[in-house]
Amino acid sequence: MIIIITKKSDPITLLIDEHRIMERVMDVMEKLAEGIEEQRPISSDMILGNIGMLLECNDEYHYGKEEDILLPFLEEIGKNEIKESIQSCIAQYRENDKLLATIIDSVDGHSNGDMDATIRIMENIREFVRNVRPLYLNEDEEIFKPLKKNLTTEEMDRLSEKFQEFDYDWDGPTLNNYQKLVREMELKASYNVW
């Protein structure tokens, strides 16, 4: 008889894994910026698809779990200092919202051959990635990895259950689907830029 044991990730590891997805989305963003610099035809649809995925996967899904579930949970179990550190990471991320907004606003101009708009997209992508990439790594190393050691098995189980409820109510893709979607995006970008 063959017994298959499937290992279930703890809820904090899931958040860390989501950071890796976002980094891959940003790798594609950087490839698009590189393509623009090399004057390759980078379509507005590709740019919007990339930014759209970041907004959905990070701002709605990932931060939905951090803000709506993890923060109240940490408060409930008396870990307010960790809660504040996570809030500070999210606030630092949000300081970059205007860069994404500028990219989205410039896409029409880019489609119409406006060189200033195209350069604005390239510069804002690069500034966004430069600012945001270290935030994920910092959250992993300074907050999530220590937190994993700090939570009891019972607390992990309760958090896991809350995340499952979030996934159940969420009508977009979840972690596994995002992994597939980002792979498709990487391949699509590779035809245009590599």
CA distances from 107 to 54, 75, 94, 111, 117 (A): 16, 41, 21, 6, 7
Nearest CB to Fe ion, comparing residues 29 and 139: 139
Nearer to Fe ion, 31 or 139 (CB): 139
Nearer to Fe ion, 117 or 139 (CB): 139
Amino acid at 74: L
Q: Which residues within the stretch 19-38 sit at the binding site for Fe ion (CB under 5 A)?
A: none
Stretch that binds Fe ion, among 2-10, 77-85, 97-105, 138-146 (CB under 5 A): 138-146
Query: In whole angstroms, how close is the CB of 122 to Fe ion at the nearest point?
Result: 26
Closest distance of CB 97 from Fe ion, Å: 15
> By CB under 5 A, how many residues form the interface with Fe ion?
1
Q: Sort residue 172 into left (φ over 0), alpha (ψ -120 to 50) or beta.
A: beta
| Among 134-142, 146-154, 155-163, 164-172, the segment contacting Fe ion (CB under 5 A) | 134-142
20 versus 40: smaller Cβ distance to Fe ion: 20
The residue of the chain with the least Cβ separation from Fe ion equals 139
Q: Which residues contact 120 (CB under 8 A, 6 or more apart)?
A: 102, 103, 106, 109
| Crossing angle of helices 115-138 and 97-111, rounded to 10° | 150
C-alpha span between 2 and 9 (Å, rounded):
22
Residues that bind Fe ion (CB under 5 A): 139
